[in-house]
Structure 1
Amino acid sequence: MQSLHFKKSHLTLISLCVLALNASSALAADKTGRQVVEQVCATCHATGANGAPKIGDVATWSQHAKKGLVKLTENAISGFGNMPAHGGQANLNDLEISRAIAYMVSSGKAIDPAKPYASPISNTGEQLVQVHCTNCHMDGIAGAPRINQFSDWKPRLEKGMDGLVSSTINGHKAMPARTGMASLSDTDLRNAVTYMVIQSATYKAK
């Protein structure tokens, strides 16, 4: 009976986890390419500071885009040369970075893409969690939800996985934007969060 009870509880937790992963949420609207460029990118790209291609210089942008918008976006997300990851603004998501790229390459003529051109994976979710996330999430430092406690994650999943990933991108309470690692893509963060949620739902104390 005890074994059966455990299995039922175990399945219930997994079911809740799956529902949370599939749930949709009403999140803040993503910035347009123009907004991102005016608020962030123009700092260097308006004048060509630090070797940045100037907005409106079609020939130079064409050279930078020779390998495609995917590669250009990957560089902008992860950082390249003098350009910091995510333009130095870790709370910009990969779609917003993609829109900024489209805006600058086209001199403001392109329509904002509905999906990111790229969201590179640097490591698996498990690797990121083991190397980085466990620093706080193993013991619940500064209120971080613990990897082995689904009860810590359940209330945070009310807005679905999108809401949880959005909090990870933007930062939440003691956790800095993008967990303090600006070079991580949205996909990296989603994979790490998904791994921790599933681990918490399937954890069995020894």
Structure 2
Amino acid sequence: MFLDKPKSHIMLALDTDTKEDAFKVLDDTYDLIDAVKFNYPLVLKEGISIITEIKQKYKIKIVADFKVADVSVTNNRIVEIVKKSGADAIMVHGFIGSDALQEIMEVANNEIGVIIVTELTSPGGLEFTRTFSSQFAELCNFTNAYGIQAPGTRPEQIKKFRNIIGTEKIIVSCGVGAQGGDFVETIRAGADYAIIGRTIYESQNPRQVVINLNQQLKRNLV
């Protein structure tokens, strides 16, 4: 489908300061991870072409974590741009509603996966979006989106959302590592991919960190 079947279960959050740093980290790790996730800062600094460059060089799956959340005409333009860049999936907020999500699905046209954000991993994610996070997960089934984002800092939510969306949709979980989410617990709870950033790219030896994470998961998922 849009992302390959997970092997390492690691999605690298590539939030480095520069393109040069991003390429350096990927040189060390691209063959050990399942996918790369971009947020806005690096793309705003280097341009959307960085997605295309990395896709062409490393032949790796890419998720644009742009948390799209606007009126439909703007959402649709963002999805179209990201689709043309070569990204395999894009994250959008559930609170934009079913009508806007359905329009995004039409623009995606089964060429790019749509992942619905349920709640943020930070404490602020509990203030407002928690109230509706289960409904956002339900929208994944209603719109036939590719999957959802669930907080790696709250494994109990991952389990709950997995029961809502079933086994055919994917779950990607942010907040693993520096924010306190545990890699093994996140995958045990039902996530397909744990999004890990600073733990890897701020390390003096990113490759060894990924190797250690892979070994840790293999030891504990038996």
TM-score (normalised: structure 2): 0.20
TM-score (normalised: structure 1): 0.21
Higher strand share: 2
**Higher relative contact order (CA closer than 8 Å, sequence separation 6+):** 1
